[in-house]
Copies of this chain bind each other. A is one copy, B any other.
Amino acid sequence: MFLRNQWYVAAWSREIGRSLLARRIADEPVVFYRTEDGRAVAFEDRCPHRLAPLSLGQIVGDRLRCGYHGVAFAPDGACVDAPGNPVPKGARVRTYPLIEKWGWAWIWLGKPELADEALLPDFHWQAEPGWAPIGGTLHFKAHYQLLVDNLLDLSHEAFLHMNTIGNNAVAEAPVHASSEGEHVRVTRLMADCPPPPLFVRARGFATNIDRLQDILFSPPCYVSITVQATPAGTNDVSQALRWQVLNALTPETERTTHYFWGLPRQFLVEDRAVDGMLEEAVVRTFNEDRAMLEAQQQVLEERSLDSRTLLTLADAGPGRARSVISRLLRAEQAA
């Protein structure tokens, strides 16, 4: 069960082109392609004739033609050809609102009349002058809320990611969690702490640092983390490590998640070697999460998370986000 009246990241814009892309989003099968004039469209990946996946068909001009019996659809979803038949009146395939912004294609699964671009979460750093963006996609065999939990309690960095972004300071520093409407914010300030390994590699810190994590959750599945580190006591922006960890945790099924991530940074923005080094470190780090969350998912297929008996202070953030999602789900069901 997923929220429907929400934008979900469906793909990197560069993934959608003149060949068909099939992807399941929040348990809905969708096929994507681009028209001759470059517009991205999203259809339900089922031919209304015999339910064959349209993604096994062909793009012909602006149309998508089913590969089974050749039924064809215009970009607006209207059936425009059923070979051997008059054009069927009113036949159509379901289409979905689709927006491209900040390098991503965002799909709206719910009522089309509610699809409002103003509801997109703010991920502008991916297309901001002065910021160097990197990014990628991972696939987790775990429910997306486990990924949200993970990102809202970064104390795990001290145990799971000690070779990249973690050290004891992250687990020891207290967090402050708060809610702003449907948003949840968790902040952690680590003053005068040793820099974790990746920070040293990326920015060459030779002394302790002052480190900030400012985490913003936006429903249904977005976590944007502002990260800043400066030599301890200096507040020297010219030496700062500053990046934004952008996470779009699109549910695929109840057990799997498309993990779209970006990491735009505000230092050494011209340095492609830093791009490569960071990308490798991020993928390594997220794969450490993946192993843990996939194991946790296996447990949760036998047992509810409600059966846990130990809560920590750092659970405040994940707990607030789960409450927001539950509240919104109840509201959608009531409507």
Contacts and interface: CB of A to CB of B under 8 A. Distances in A.
A310 B71 contact: yes
A83 B173 CA distance: 9
Contacts of A84: 155, 171-175, 312-314
Contact of A308 (B50, B56, B160, B296): B50
B49 A312 contact: yes
B68 A310 contact: no
B88 A310 contact: yes
A39 to B, nearest CB: 24
A156 interface: yes
Contact of A305 (B50, B160, B168, B291): B50
Given A82-B310, A82-B312, A158-B83, A292 B67 contact: yes
A206 interface: no
A53 interface: yes
A66 B299 contact: no
Contacts of A50: 149, 296, 305, 308
Size class of the A contact interface (CB-based, 8 Å): 35 or more
B56 A295 contact: yes
Interface string A293-311: 0011001100101011111
A296 B159 contact: no
Nearest to A171: B83
Contacts of A308: 48-51
A319 to B, nearest CB: 12
Interface string A213-252: 0000000000000000000000000000000000000000
B70 A292 contact: no
Interface in A164-205: 168, 171-175
A141 to B, nearest CB: 15
Interface string A49-75: 111110010000000011111110000
A46 interface: yes
A148 interface: no
A286 to B, nearest CB: 15
